[in-house]
């Protein structure tokens, strides 16, 4: 349970709701008939054993997969199909399970690239890098520097991200997602492959993002300690089916969840 906030803080309007979503690849059912909602300002965890359909669920939310059935309502707008860039413009940002940074670019450029959809100067001004184009560049650099300070990655600004250690790459990727100023931030296993110290750092950043920017966060995570500590509410998937939904304490006591994680005696 989170120390600050508590359940009251989680009670906001529904930001995103997923209703009866089913997704299958050929004969394989990745997600079947799953419904849940994400409220404004909360940290919502999606957990489940391997192959439960968690990442597929995120891919559905940000428009990368199109579900065969079901509806997704984001900010009051219901949609059946959406392109990923439309999701981005709508305010959904995302990090990846395997870091998906732009490896040839510096950390600074990666985060600047996250500002792309906020930048509008025409090709003409870009040609001369002068006037509006330069002003825009500097304005956004200010915002990016705020994020760099926030994530404490000042000294690796100019380093091509391919050369950074894994933990820092994850942090730069979080920064790139934050640069989009999202309303909903999807984190796909932000702590995967980290040691305890890095996990603590990353958890702190996730909480800070939620507090400081008021960003709603949906995260997938395997570390139960992290999930139970960070999240306001948890949804549990197993084999593409929702088996539990509620506060961390409720979920912890749920028999179906215990069975899914520990197995059932036959």
Partner 1 sequence: MLYREAGQFKTSYASDQAVFPILQDRVGILIILVIAFIGIPVTGNDFLINAVMIPFLIFSLAAIGLNLLTGYTGLLSLGTGAFMGVGAYACYKLTTVFPDVNIIIWVIVSGFFSAAVGAVFGLPSLRIKGFYLAIATLAAQFFLEWCFIRIPWLYNYNVSAAIEVPQRELFGIIITGPRASAQTRYLIVLTIVVAMTWMASNIVHGRIGRMWMAIRDMDIAAELMGIRLLPTKLLAFAVSSFYCGVAGAMLVFLWYGGAESTVFSINESFTILFMIIIGGLGSLLGSFLGAALIYILPIILRFVPPQLGLPLHAATVEHMTFMITGALIVFFLIAEPAGLARLWQIGKQKLRVWPFPY
Residues that bind partner 1 (CB under 8 A): 62, 64, 84-85, 87-89, 93-94, 96, 100-105, 109, 112-114, 116-117, 119, 121, 123, 126-129, 133-134, 136-138, 141-142, 145, 176, 180
Does an H or E element contain 31, and which? Answer: strand 28-39
How many angstroms separate the CA atoms of 251 and 257, rounded? Answer: 7
How many angstroms separate the CA atoms of 13 and 16, rounded? Answer: 9
Contact partners, residue 180, CB within 8 Å, separation at least 6: 88, 91, 93, 114, 115, 117, 118
- CB of 218: closest distance to partner 1 in angstroms? 14
For residue 181, which phi and psi values (nearest 5 degrees)? 45, 60
Of 151 and 243, which CB lies nearer to partner 1 in the complex structure?
Answer: 151
- CB of 137: closest distance to partner 1 in angstroms? 6
Of 143 and 252, which CB lies nearer to partner 1 in the complex structure?
Answer: 143
Q: How far is CA 231 from CA 6, 41, 219, 226, 254, in A?
A: 10, 11, 9, 8, 17
Of 64 and 213, which CB lies nearer to partner 1 in the complex structure?
Answer: 64
- CB of 32: closest distance to partner 1 in angstroms? 24
Given the structure tokens 């009251």, which residue do they identify? 8
User: For strand 233-238 and strand 43-47, is the pairing parallel, antiparallel, or unpaired?
Assistant: parallel
User: For strand 77-79 and strand 43-47, is the pairing parallel, antiparallel, or unpaired?
Assistant: unpaired
Contact call for residues 249 and 1 (beta carbons, < 8 A): yes
- CB of 14: closest distance to partner 1 in angstroms? 23
Of 120 and 266, which CB lies nearer to partner 1 in the complex structure?
Answer: 120
Of 1 and 100, which CB lies nearer to partner 1 in the complex structure?
Answer: 100
- CB of 43: closest distance to partner 1 in angstroms? 20
- CB of 175: closest distance to partner 1 in angstroms? 12
Of 46 and 101, which CB lies nearer to partner 1 in the complex structure?
Answer: 101
Tokens at residue 16, please? 């995103």
- CB of 33: closest distance to partner 1 in angstroms? 26
Given the structure tokens 């500097």, which residue do they identify? 138
Of 117 and 192, which CB lies nearer to partner 1 in the complex structure?
Answer: 117
Tokens at residue 111, please? 């985060």
């Amino acid at each position: 349970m989170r120390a600050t906030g508590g359940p009251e803080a989680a009670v906001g309007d529904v930001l995103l709701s997923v209703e009866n979503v089913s997704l299958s690849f050929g004969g394989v059912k990745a997600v079947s008939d799953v419904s849940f909602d994400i409220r404004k300002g909360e940290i919502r965890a999606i957990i489940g054993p391997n192959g439960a359909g968690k990442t597929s669920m995120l891919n559905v939310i940000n428009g990368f997969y199109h579900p065969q059935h079901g509806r997704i309502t984001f900010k009051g707008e219901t949609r059946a199909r959406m392109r990923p860039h439309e999701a981005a413009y709508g305010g959904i940002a995302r990090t990846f399970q395997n870091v998906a940074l732009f490896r040839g670019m510096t950390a600074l450029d990666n985060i600047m690239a996250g500002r792309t959809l906020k930048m509008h100067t025409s090709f003409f001004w870009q040609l001369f890098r002068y006037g509006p184009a330069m002003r825009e560049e500097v304005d956004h650099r200010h915002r990016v520097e705020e994020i760099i300070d926030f994530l404490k990655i000042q000294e690796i600004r100019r380093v091509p991200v391919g050369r950074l250690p894994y933990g820092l790459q994850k942090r730069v990727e979080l920064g790139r997602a934050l640069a989009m100023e999202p309303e909903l931030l999807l984190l796909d296993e932000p702590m995967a492959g980290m040691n305890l110290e890095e996990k603590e750092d990353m958890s702190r950043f996730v909480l800070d993002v939620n507090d400081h920017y008021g960003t709603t966060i949906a995260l997938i995570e395997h570390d139960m300690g992290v999930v139970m500590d960070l999240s306001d509410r948890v949804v549990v998937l197993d084999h593409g089916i929702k088996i539990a939904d509620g506060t961390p304490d409720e979920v912890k006591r749920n028999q179906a969840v215990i069975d899914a994680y520990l197995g059932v005696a036959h």
